[in-house]
Chains A and B, each alone.
Chain A
Amino acid sequence: MVVIGTGAGGSAVAWTLASSGVRVLALEAGPAYSPESDYLLDKPHWEKQRFPYKPNSQGNYRFAQMQKLEERWSMLRSWNIISGQNNQGEYRIPSRAGYHHLQGVGGSTLRFTGEAHRLHPESMQMQSNYGVAADWPLSYSDLEPFYQEAETVVGVAGPAENSPRWRSQPYPLPAHGLSKAATLIKKTGADNGFTWVENARAALSMNYDGRPACNYCANCNRGCPRRDKGSADVTFIHKALATDNLELRPGTRVLRIIPGTNNRIKSIDYINQNGDEKTLSCDILIMAAGAIETPRLLLASADKLTPNGVANESAQVGRNLMETLSWSSSGIANTPLNSFKGLPSDSICWDYNHPTSIPGTIGGCRFSLSMSEADLVGPINYAQRIVPGWGTGHKQALRKAFGQAVTIGAIGEFLPNDKTYVDLDPEEKDHFGIPLARIHSFLPKPELIRLKFMMNSCRKILHLAGISGLVEEYGTYDYFSSTHVFGGCRMGIDPKQSVVNGYGQSHTWKNLFITDASIFPSSGGGESPSLTIEALAIRTGRHIARGLGYKPIA
C-alpha cells in the first residue's frame, strides 16, 4: 500500500490503514520537521520569518494570466496605511505566497492555524438544493463518525453548542478561554447580526494523549514547538509510526504514475533521497499530494494507455478547482488588549455560513478573529506595516499601538467555475522534466458579491467594537492568495462529472484512491478544510482495510 504525500489526507489514511494492521509506505516530497529545534518561537528573531522553510519545503507552480480588475469592484482592492494600494496594476496577480502550502511530513498542516471545522450539512448538497457546484456523494451523517474519530486523534477543543453541525459526542476537549480581543468582539453581539462563539481548534486546551496543553503564544502559523497544535505530523503520523506498520520516506518525490492492464495502476516512478530514480509497483495507490499536485501528477502521467492523463477519462482532472475567497480588515483599538497573546482565531461567527445567508448570491461565509493570520502579533510587523512614520515619533506610536491591533477575517464559499482549474504549464518543467502545474483562477460576479458582503461585514464588526481607524485591508479580489485549495479531482456518483467516487476511489482505476482536498465537490461556506479531509481519508482507509479483510485494531 503506497501513499503519496503526508499532509492532512495522506497522514490520516496512513494512520487508519496502519492501525488496522495494513503495511503502509508513505512517500513524502518534503523534509521532516522537528518542532523543538526547527521552529523559531523561542528565538529573539522569531518574528522575522513567517515559517522556517527548509530546502524542498515549497513546491513549484505557475499561474496563468488572471482577470482584469474593474473599476466597479475597486472598493475590493487591498490597501495598507503605509504603502497605499497594494496591487497597483490592472490585473489580479498572485500574492507572494500565492498557493500557500508546505511540503514536509505533515504537509500544509505544519503551517496551518488549526481551526478544526465540520462542514455545514447544507454545504454538501449545493447542486440539489441551489443548482450550483456539485453534490457530495455522501451525507453529513455518513461522515459524522469519522469527524468524531479525526477530532479524537487530533485532540480538538470546542464549545458545547454547535448546531447545525450536530454531533454524536462532545468535543474531546473543552473550548479554550477567550482572549481580550475576542471578549471585546463578542460584545458586538447577536443583536447586531454577529453571534460569536468559541472556535473549534486543533490545539489542546488540556494535556492530552502525551502532548502538553497550549500556552497561548499566538503563533500557530510559525509552527508549534510544543506539539500541542494538532498538525498531522504530531498526531496521525506519530500514531501511525507507533504501530510499526508505517514506513515513512521524507525527501521522496513521486514523478509519475504508471497505468497497467485490467484498469489497475501498475507502479510509480519516484526520486529517492539520494536523487536516484526508482520504480515501485503498488497493489493499492493512494494519492494525497494536495489539490494542486495531485491533478498535476495525474495529468503528467499521460502515456499510450492514458493519453489525457491517468483517471482523466472524462476530462475532469484539474477542473472544478476552488480557492480561498477571503477578506480581512485590521484596525487599532483604543484600549490595551494584548492582542499578540492568546490562541489564534479563538472566536468565530457562523451567522452567515448557511448557503443562502448572503443576500444576492448563493454560498455562505464566516468571520473570525485573525491577527495571527494577518501576522500582526509582533513588533516587526506593527513597525513595518501598521504604524506609519519613523524617528522618535514612530517609536512612541508603536509603544501606544502595540497589542491593540484587531483583525477580522472572513472566508467565503468559492463555487467552481469553468475558468478556475489546474493544468500543465506548456513550457515550464521541474528538475526532473515534469511539467509544472499551472493555476488558472477567475472570480465571477457571485464570488465578488460575496466578497463585498464579507468586506462590509468585517468593517461593521470593527465599527461595532468601537474600532474606527482601519490600517490595512487585504482581500482576494486583486490577489490570488489561497490557504484552502480544493477540487481538481472532484468526487461524485457520475463518472462523467467526477474523478473519484465517495470513497475517493477512481471510477476507472480500481486500485487508485485519492484522499486529499482535491476531491471536494464544493468548498463549504468558509469552513477550514483539514478536519473534513481527515474524516474523508479515515473513511476511505476503513473502506480499503475492510476490502482487504482487515479490521481496526482496538
Chain B
Amino acid sequence: MIRNPFNTKLTRRELLTLFLAGIFPLNLRAFTPTDSPEYILVLRALLDTLIPADDITPSASALGIHQEIIDGTSSDFAYDQLIQLGCRWLNHQSNGDFTNLQMPQRIQILQWMEQADRHSLPALFFNRLRYEAMALYYSQPASWKGLGLERPPQPLGYMDYQS
C-alpha cells in the first residue's frame, strides 16, 4: 500500500484562511518577484538553518536547494505566495532582516514555527519548506555520505542485500 501522509500543498481551506486573514495580497502587483534577492537571501538562510553543513555533508544552499525551490514556484502560484509571505514574516520577526540573525536566534524562530498551529502561516511555511528541502537535498548524492547509500538503486541493485 502506497501513501504519503503529508499534505504539503495548501488545501482550499488553508488558502481561504490566509485570504480571509488578509495574509494573501489582493494587489499582487505590489509584490516583488520571488527570485529577487530580498527573498533568495532569506530563503537561503532559512534552508541553511534547516539543513546546515556538518563535517560530512554540505549545507542546503551549497547544493543549490534555494534556487531549486524558487524554480519550483514558477508553476505553483500558491507556493510562490507562501514563500513570499513566509519570508516577509521571517523578516518581520527578525526586526527587519532574518539574515542578520545569529544561528541560535534563527533556530529559536524555527522552533517556534514548528510548534505553531498547523493551519497558521508560520507552520504552513515551515512544514512545506522542510518537506520540499528534504526532498531536494536528499536527491543529491553529495548528501548521502554517512548513510551507507553509495549510488541510486540501479543499475547495480543491492546484491549484498543479505549482509
Binding site for B on A (CB under 8 A): 39, 41-48, 50, 78, 80, 82-84, 86, 95-97, 100, 177-180, 183, 214-219, 221, 225-226, 324, 326, 328, 336, 338, 340-343, 370, 373-375, 377-380, 383-385, 390-392, 394-396, 398-399, 402-403, 409, 411, 472, 474, 476, 479, 481, 483
Contacts and interface: CB of A to CB of B under 8 A. Distances in A.
Interface in B139-154: 139-141, 143-144, 146-149, 152-154
A390 B158 CA distance: 29
A328 B143 contact: no
A218 B153 contact: yes
Interface stretch (B1-9, B16-24, B34-42, B84-92): B1-9
A474 B5 CA distance: 8
Contacts of A95: 3
A216 B148 CA distance: 16
Contacts of B118: 84
Contacts, number: 166
A43 B4 CA distance: 21
Contacts of B49: 390-391
A390 B161 contact: no
A226 B154 CA distance: 9
Nearest to A43: B152
The secondary-structure label for the interface of chain B is loop
24 contacts: A39-B154, A47-B139, A80-B6, A82-B6, A84-B118, A95-B3, A183-B162, A215-B156, A216-B157, A216-B158, A216-B161, A217-B153, A218-B158, A221-B2, A225-B154, A338-B163, A341-B161, A342-B162, A374-B2, A379-B147, A384-B135, A395-B146, A399-B147, A481-B2
B54 A392 contact: yes
B6 A83 contact: yes
A402 B149 contact: yes
- Ranked 9 nearest A-B pairs via Cβ: A215-B157, A341-B158, A217-B153, A41-B154, A341-B161, A45-B139, A383-B134, A342-B161, A379-B138
B162 A177 contact: yes
A203 to B, nearest CB: 11
A481 B3 contact: yes
Nearest to B4: A96
B26 interface: no
Contacts of A390: 49-51, 110, 114, 130
Nearest to A87: B5
A100 B5 CA distance: 15
A510 B90 CA distance: 69
B112 interface: no
A481 to B, nearest CB: 6
Given A216-B161, A342-B158, A379-B143, A403 B54 contact: no
A48 B2 contact: no
B60 to A, nearest CB: 10
Contact of A46 (B137, B152, B158): B152
B52 interface: yes
A255 B141 CA distance: 46
Interface in B19-64: 49-52, 54, 56-57
- Listed residue (B107, B156, B157, B161) with the most chain A CB atoms within 10 angstroms of its CB: B161
B5 A178 contact: no
Given A48-B135, A390-B130, A216 B159 contact: yes
A399 B146 contact: yes
Contacts of A391: 49-52, 107
A214 B155 CA distance: 11
A385 B157 contact: no
Contacts of A479: 3
Nearest to B143: A379
B153 A46 contact: yes
Contacts of B149: 340, 378-379, 402
Given A47-B139, A179-B162, A216-B159, A86 B5 contact: yes
A40 to B, nearest CB: 8
A383 B138 contact: yes
Contacts of B131: 384
Given A379-B147, A402-B147, A384 B2 contact: no
A60 to B, nearest CB: 19
A370 B110 CA distance: 34
A474 B49 CA distance: 31
Given A380-B138, A383-B138, A402-B149, A50 B5 contact: no
Given A328-B1, A379-B138, A379-B144, A217 B154 contact: yes
A392 B152 CA distance: 24
Contacts of A343: 161
Nearest to A388: B114
A479 to B, nearest CB: 7
A102 to B, nearest CB: 11
Contacts of A216: 157-159, 161
Given A379-B144, A399-B147, A374 B154 contact: no
